[in-house]
Amino acid sequence: MVKEPNITETVRLNRLHWFGHVQRMEENRIPPKVLYMNLETARLRGRPRNRWQDEMMGDGRLVGGKGWKEMVYNRKEWKKLLRMPKNSCILHMPME
């Protein structure tokens, strides 16, 4: 029996696919610049909100372990890594 992914699973996988796409882009293009842009704003009181980058780092560690950032640059290996059955664990973890 095949389990269809729900919306959170789809969001996680699409986020990983998009991150790989942007990482392989040239540095002078707009998406990589915006991805790593640092906006100097005052933070609100209380617990800091999770940033997109924080979520991405957590998902990346789940999928590829320590060297997951280097795998992004080899497109075939990155896609293969995201399709591996062992990485179905990322699909079943709650989003924060």
Q: Is residue 73 within 8 Å of 63, Cβ to Cβ?
A: no
pLDDT tens digit string along 47-82? 888 888 888 888 887 777 778 888 888 888 888 888
**95 pLDDT above the threshold of 80:** no
Q: Which of 87, 81, 73, 80 is nearest to 25 (CA)?
A: 73
pTM of the model: 0.70
At residue 2, the pLDDT reads 58
At residue 30, the pLDDT reads 92
